[in-house]
Amino acid sequence: MERKYIFPDNFLWGGATSANQCEGAAREDGKGWTTSDTSLFIADSKKRIQQMLSPMTTDKVRKALGDTKGFYPKRQGIDFYHHYKEDIALFAEMGFKTFRLSISWARILPNGDDKHPNEKGLQFYENVIDELLKYNIEPLVTLSHYEFPLELSFRQNGWASRKTIDAFEHFVTILFERFKGKVKYWITFNEMNVIGMTGYLSGGLLADKYENPDNPNQDYFQAAHHQLVAAAKAARALRSIDPEAQIGCMIVRFENYPDTPNPLDVLASLKSDQENFLMSDVLMKGSYPGYSKRLFAEKNVHIEMTKEDLEILANYTADFVSFSYYMSGVVGGTNSEKTTGNILDSKQNPFLKKSEWGWQIDPVGLRITLNKMYDRYQKPIFIVENGLGAKDELTDELTVHDTYRINYLRSHIEQIGEAIDDGVEVIGYTPWGCIDLVSASGNEMSKRYGFIYVDIDDKGQGTGKRYRKDSFAWYKNVIKTNGESL
């Protein structure tokens, strides 16, 4: 018998993007420089991801800002800044109920902590939000997605400084006041649990300014603590300015299986979960979990936290939990064969196929993760990223036959349906890069996720025209039938 999946009537189907990967217009209308503006396109694909994960220094940043020869894809994006009306019309045609975007902090406060906001920046986002609301699409807004105002890196080493909490509170207060009644769903930090790997991009950390150059973990975890306090302060501000709105935390989920039934492998998997859930545990439950003591001791980390920090964390927990999920991994054991993955490499799982980028495709892992998270938090869950990065080919009929993407998404949505049947409260699903955009790790256009093809290549050449892929009509039907047509 054919299996039918029942999604809630108000399920938020949609798509996700980030400002730094799609807007472009890096220097337009008063925007300040951000960490993502220094990501250079590197021709050798094997070296690309290293750039994202390598520490940056003041000198390297200054050099990138003054470089007139290299190509920096995120400064151009897909020019969503000028195409947003056309793009949103396409999302509306697919029937999106929600659209995840992020706001570039430096577009609002070019130096990160300016007293008065840049009106042109605010106006741009207001135009985007109004355009979405015109089609009854709920904006889902991330306050910080893999970019940070560079001025605050130079001055106070980004999130390593406690002063950055105040700057962020000021930034988000401006947004909550301006978009009160228009934005119901906010997310504080994108994938905040991997600041140890994306310390520069998301934390604005410069290696030459580390407090403990011998143990960068100290700076990473102190910065993460400041983000946690800032997230709780954002929740406090939102509750007083717009009590109807909700704020969520967001992590990248690594479902890491034990390599064998050996209890040591199972323990390795449990430890991987603990490290993976640390940030969401704090923000969903209001305090650092018991296991954090040992984790910090093992990493030789001593976090400075005040009584006020602990109070604010306890009093302003998040309303929902959200996460990105692309793949699963394996830990422990003796298997030494590795494959690449989202941010982290993993051991190979012989039961899974891989994407062209080596990420292990595992729809059932999504169901497992959803169940685990719901058991842990008992709060609504928003899946705010999922998808298949692939090389697409535009045909002569100006479309892309992306059956591989449809298969990936179908199998994952089916598992969301299963998890809902398991009793998990899933409120929405926004596949990543619903329109092709610059890849975060590779800084390239060749790795595409979208339902909409954008005619721009790795070097930024192309017409910029948008074309509907086969997955466009497929997803439109999924939304129209609320998942029944899977």
Question: Would you count residue 35 as binding ligand BG6 (CB under 6 A)?
Answer: no
Instruction: Decide whether 258 or 389 has the Cβ nearer to ligand BG6.
Output: 389
Question: Would you count residue 252 as binding ligand BG6 (CB under 6 A)?
Answer: yes
**Binding positions for ligand BG6, 280-319, rule CB under 6 A:** none
Main-chain dihedrals φ then ψ at residue 408, nearest 5 degrees: -60, -50
Angstrom distance (rounded) from CA 182 to CA 206: 36
Task: Tell me which stretch binds ligand BG6 (CB under 6 A): 121-129, 310-318, 327-335, 439-447.
Answer: 439-447
Question: Would you count residue 147 as binding ligand BG6 (CB under 6 A)?
Answer: no
Task: Tell me which stretch binds ligand BG6 (CB under 6 A): 161-169, 179-187, 437-445, 477-485.
Answer: 437-445
484 is catalytic: no
Angstrom distance (rounded) from CA 3 to CA 417: 10
Contact 368, 414 (CB under 8 A): no
Instruction: Decide whether 190 or 222 has the Cβ nearer to ligand BG6.
Output: 190
Instruction: Decide whether 301 or 445 has the Cβ nearer to ligand BG6.
Output: 445
Q: Find, among 17, 74, 11, the residue nearest to 48 by Cα.
A: 74
Instruction: Decide whether 218 or 339 has the Cβ nearer to ligand BG6.
Output: 339
Instruction: Decide whether 272 or 441 has the Cβ nearer to ligand BG6.
Output: 441
Question: Would you count residue 340 as binding ligand BG6 (CB under 6 A)?
Answer: no
**Binding positions for ligand BG6, 446-475, rule CB under 6 A:** 447
Contact 226, 162 (CB under 8 A): yes
Contact 391, 356 (CB under 8 A): yes
Question: Active site residue: 147, 151, 191, 255, which one?
Answer: 191
Angstrom distance (rounded) from CA 215 to CA 218: 6
Instruction: Decide whether 55 or 358 has the Cβ nearer to ligand BG6.
Output: 358
**Which stretches of 263-387 are DSSP H helices?**
263-285, 291-298, 307-315, 363-377
Task: Tell me which stretch binds ligand BG6 (CB under 6 A): 61-69, 309-317, 432-440, 457-465.
Answer: 432-440
Cα distances (Å, whole numbers) of residue 235 to 195, 245, 246, 270, 445: 20, 10, 8, 30, 35
Shortest Å, Cβ 326 to ligand BG6: 7
Angstrom distance (rounded) from CA 36 to CA 23: 12
Question: Active site residue: 23, 131, 138, 385, which one?
Answer: 385
Q: Is 350 exposed, middle or buried (0-12, 13-18, 19+ CB in 10 A)?
A: exposed
Number of shown-chain residues binding ligand BG6 (CB under 6 A): 16
Site track 363-402 with ligand BG6 (rule: CB under 6 A), x = hit: ----------------------x---x-------------
Angstrom distance (rounded) from CA 153 to CA 239: 29
Which residue of 190, 193, 269, 346 would you call a contact of ligand BG6, by CB under 6 A?
Answer: 190
Question: Would you count residue 432 as binding ligand BG6 (CB under 6 A)?
Answer: yes
Q: Find, among 390, 383, 384, 470, the residue nearest to 436 by Cα.
A: 390
Contact 394, 453 (CB under 8 A): yes
Question: Would you count residue 22 as binding ligand BG6 (CB under 6 A)?
Answer: no
Shortest Å, Cβ 78 to ligand BG6: 13
Q: Residues for the chain: how many in total?
A: 486
Q: Find, among 346, 453, 16, the residue nearest to 355 by Cα.
A: 346
Please report where in the chains the tokens 């039907």 appear, as a residue: 477
Instruction: Decide whether 98 or 190 has the Cβ nearer to ligand BG6.
Output: 190
Contact 9, 479 (CB under 8 A): no
Shortest Å, Cβ 212 to ligand BG6: 27
Instruction: Decide whether 22 or 137 has the Cβ nearer to ligand BG6.
Output: 22
Shortest Å, Cβ 440 to ligand BG6: 3
191 is catalytic: yes
Bridge partner residues of 149 (DSSP): 34
Residues that bind ligand BG6 (CB under 6 A): 18, 21, 146, 190-191, 252, 324, 342, 385, 389, 432, 439-442, 447
Query: What amino acid positions are annotated as catalytic residues?
Result: 191, 385
